[in-house]
Chains A and B, each alone.
Chain A
Amino acid sequence: MAAEGRLALPLAPDVLVIGTGAGGAPLLARLAQAGLRVVALEAGERHPPAGIATDEVAQAGLFWMDERLAAGGDPVGFGRNNSGRGVGGSTLHFTAYTPRAHPDDFTLRRDTGQGVDWPLGYGDLEPYYDEVEQFIGVSGPAEYPWGGPRSAPYRHPPLPLNGAARLMERACAEVGLRTSPAANAALSRPQEQEGYGTRPACSNRGFCQAGCSTGAKASLDVTYLALAERHGAVIVDGAQVTALLTDASGRVRGARFIRAGREETLEAGTVVLAAGAIETPRLLLRQNLANSSGQVGRNFMAHVGVQVWGLVEDDLRPYKGIPGGLISEDTHRGIPGVAGGYLLQSLGVMPVTYATQFARGTGTWGPALIDHLSRYNHVAGINVLGDCLPYEHNYLELSDELDARGLPKPRVHFTFGENERRMSAHAEALMRDLWARAGARDVWALPRAAHTIGTARMGEDPASSVIDPFGRAHDTPGLWICDNSTFPSALAVNPALTQMALSLRTADALITHLKETA
């Protein structure tokens, strides 16, 4: 089946994984280490660190650029934000921010009557959090002031605080908010990585969101995917899955995909769909698979992510240092009239990202625009990452428009609810106060939603969820799902670390399942 010059695929692997991001990669490594024959299909290409340019436009290949349609009252932009494509998925361009979810993030409904509870708790994930943090090498404080109990401290000391982080530290101290160096999955000292080699300490190049050029950041290509390949996993890049294969009984038997313009198929004992909260439901909806609950595509969520920016006298050089150096989680709970809460973080920023956000957010043009942008070296940012409740009115559907590959474009409806609006207003007021104390002028706020979450939720009840608490599709044999589509609620933290922990947990369950059914 292998054409000339292309990777020959192993026949009938035990497990086929679709997607190599934070959902697919740790699981792929775990299965390979267990001796299973595993293949991963990745729509994007490989992006080794040595080929990464310090330039946002040149790095557009890290993003999913097939057009998606943004609908609703607060449409979510995709492309350069909220998408990923490549071996390593969106971790290629994530900021490396890796806070753990808090125990009460999983019990929002029990605690507040709003949202939904998870069918698992912090205690189920803690050993996996710990394992992931140690393996990928998270840098963080010796004692983290918030959240649940930890079985071990962070492996490496925290990264240095850049200009925005120091401004936020000072302003928070004035108002009595506790701060801490944040947990970031970028190395503050070198680390050996099985299957990859030595990863160096971070050079304080603040272009994490355009890809890491040194391997200091723990994108999955230099961590779990290197481990997976060391243990025999085959990763096929440039292979975009267009359909799942099913047999007469309804069991999923493999996948159809396009590689270098040609259609191919690969059969496998089990398929793990790990394509993310947009592409996973997009694939399932086309075949109406795993959807007896009617929940595929439902409950799309995106974190409250309002940012506040200002100009300061100091020469900050916002392209330097880990972008999210400082954190406060004092606002995790206790906001009047709001269920859930948010974390606060300082922000470095790359020039094109800042400039386009300023233009979109303020509508400024002409000489006033140029004048503002020319002060980029003095830009200081701060933002929040807040929980988002699942709503009936937020969902993904297939549109009638076809993309260049002939596949229907997804249309994603998103409108903040009252809870998100209140949270966003609270956060903006707090950050404006902090930035006033920091001496910032020309302060402006950008209301924003970040991350793609939900659309194939996990749960105990097959009538109201797509997969069980371990990732197995309730109604479709041979199919597991492991990506952020499965989150029942958004959590008040960035999703990558939790996703990696869930990935290992799903892998352990799948290994057990395969042994039991062998």
Chain B
Amino acid sequence: MRPDDRAAVEAALRGPAVTPPTRAALLDRLNARYDRRYFTPAEFGQLRAAAMRLVPHDPAEMDLAGLIDDRLHAGRTDGWRYADSPPDGDAYRALLAALPADFTTLPAAAQDEALRAVQARLPRTFEDLLAELVEGFVSHPLTGYRFGYAGFMDAPGWPRVGPNELEDREATYGR
């Protein structure tokens, strides 16, 4: 946890360059916490361990596995799936079941080896899972801050759009 990053994000979100709907959405996400309700504890442990190898992150900051559990519990979809894949929840369960039973306790290199095998064996489910994790990761305000992404501070507009033409709030945000 890096409290300085969080403080910088909160200061930007409460500033005048952010519109009210943008502020509400990003503050919600910054503080989002989820209770596990869809997966079993064992499945969830596998999912979280896989998620941390696929999209390295700190689950105390952003609960990417919890985000997926929450979506599946609520029955939300992203609007489509491959016709030859089972519904998202079943597909993810099958992927987790294809990992070694002791996946969570394996050394990192062995976990990566197992994930590469699953990527080859279940390419579409793996792709869906990776994309969903990436969405949760990149849309998190802390990730945006670390990547120097300032696009949400657009209330004043962007009068200059050419290469290297940065407003102060773009040049100074992030690290």
Q: Which residues of A contact B (CB under 8 A)?
A: 50-58, 63-71, 75, 77-80, 83, 160-163, 166-167, 203-207, 213, 312, 314-317, 319-321, 350-352, 355-356, 358-360, 363, 365-367, 369-370, 373-377, 399, 404, 411
The interface bits of chain B over 4-35 (1 if a CB of A lies within 8 angstroms of the residue's CB, else 0) are: 00000000000000110110111001000000
Residues of A within 8 A of B126 (CB): 363
B104 contacts chain A at the CB level, 8 A cutoff: no
The minimal Cβ–Cβ distance linking A295 to chain B, given in whole angstroms, is 22
The minimal Cβ–Cβ distance linking A51 to chain B, given in whole angstroms, is 5
Can you give 23 A-B contacts (C-beta < 8 A)?
A52-B21, A53-B19, A54-B19, A54-B152, A55-B25, A57-B139, A58-B25, A63-B79, A78-B79, A83-B79, A206-B158, A317-B150, A317-B161, A320-B161, A321-B158, A351-B144, A352-B138, A355-B137, A360-B130, A363-B126, A365-B55, A365-B130, A366-B56
Among all A-B residue pairs, the 8 with the closest Cβ atoms = A79-B79, A203-B157, A319-B151, A58-B25, A321-B161, A71-B83, A78-B80, A314-B163
Contact A65 B25 (CB under 8 A): no
Partner of A53, one of B21, B80, B130: B21
Residues of B within 8 A of A314 (CB): 163-164
Contact A369 B55 (CB under 8 A): yes
Residues of B within 8 A of A358 (CB): 134
Contact A205 B149 (CB under 8 A): no
Contact A359 B139 (CB under 8 A): no
Residues of B within 8 A of A71 (CB): 82-84
Residues of B within 8 A of A312 (CB): 163
Contact B115 A365 (CB under 8 A): yes
Task: Choose the segment among B36-44, B70-78, B91-99 that binds chain A (4+ C-beta atoms closer than 8 Å).
Answer: B70-78
Residue of A nearest to B127 (CB): A360
Q: How far is the CA of A367 from the CA of B57 in the complex (A)?
A: 10
B121 contacts chain A at the CB level, 8 A cutoff: no
Q: How far is the CA of A474 from the CA of B112 in the complex (A)?
A: 59
Contact A351 B83 (CB under 8 A): no
B107 contacts chain A at the CB level, 8 A cutoff: no
Instruction: Given A56-B139, A366-B112, A369-B55, decide whether A360 and B131 contact each other with a Cβ distance below 8 A.
Output: yes
Contact A366 B163 (CB under 8 A): no
Contact B79 A203 (CB under 8 A): no
The minimal Cβ–Cβ distance linking A315 to chain B, given in whole angstroms, is 5
Contact B75 A404 (CB under 8 A): yes
Residues of A within 8 A of B87 (CB): 67
Q: How far is the CA of A4 from the CA of B39 in the complex (A)?
A: 41
Instruction: Given A58-B21, A161-B162, A213-B19, decide whether A67 and B151 contact each other with a Cβ distance below 8 A.
Output: no
Contact A68 B166 (CB under 8 A): no
Taking residues whose C-beta sits less than 8 angstroms from the other chain, chain B's interface range is 35 or more
Q: How far is the CA of A66 from the CA of B147 in the complex (A)?
A: 33
Contact A315 B134 (CB under 8 A): no
Residues of A within 8 A of B82 (CB): 69-71, 75
B159 contacts chain A at the CB level, 8 A cutoff: yes
Residues of A within 8 A of B75 (CB): 404
Contact A55 B22 (CB under 8 A): yes
Main secondary structure of the interface of A (DSSP, over half): loop
Residues of A within 8 A of B19 (CB): 53-54, 213
Contact B162 A162 (CB under 8 A): yes
Partner of A54, one of B55, B135, B151: B151
Apart from A67-B81, A369-B55, what 5 extra A-B contacts exist at CB < 8 Å?
A57-B25, A351-B138, A355-B138, A365-B53, A365-B130
The minimal Cβ–Cβ distance linking A345 to chain B, given in whole angstroms, is 16
Residues of A within 8 A of B54 (CB): 365-366, 369
The minimal Cβ–Cβ distance linking A374 to chain B, given in whole angstroms, is 5
Contact A377 B80 (CB under 8 A): no
Residues of A within 8 A of B21 (CB): 50-53, 58, 213
Contact B77 A57 (CB under 8 A): no
The minimal Cβ–Cβ distance linking A306 to chain B, given in whole angstroms, is 18
Residues of B within 8 A of A350 (CB): 151
Residues of A within 8 A of B137 (CB): 355
The minimal Cβ–Cβ distance linking B115 to chain A, given in whole angstroms, is 7
B59 contacts chain A at the CB level, 8 A cutoff: no
Residues of A within 8 A of B130 (CB): 359-360, 363, 365
Q: How far is the CA of A316 from the CA of B156 in the complex (A)?
A: 19
Q: How far is the CA of A103 from the CA of B123 in the complex (A)?
A: 43
B154 contacts chain A at the CB level, 8 A cutoff: yes
Residue of B nearest to A59 (CB): B25
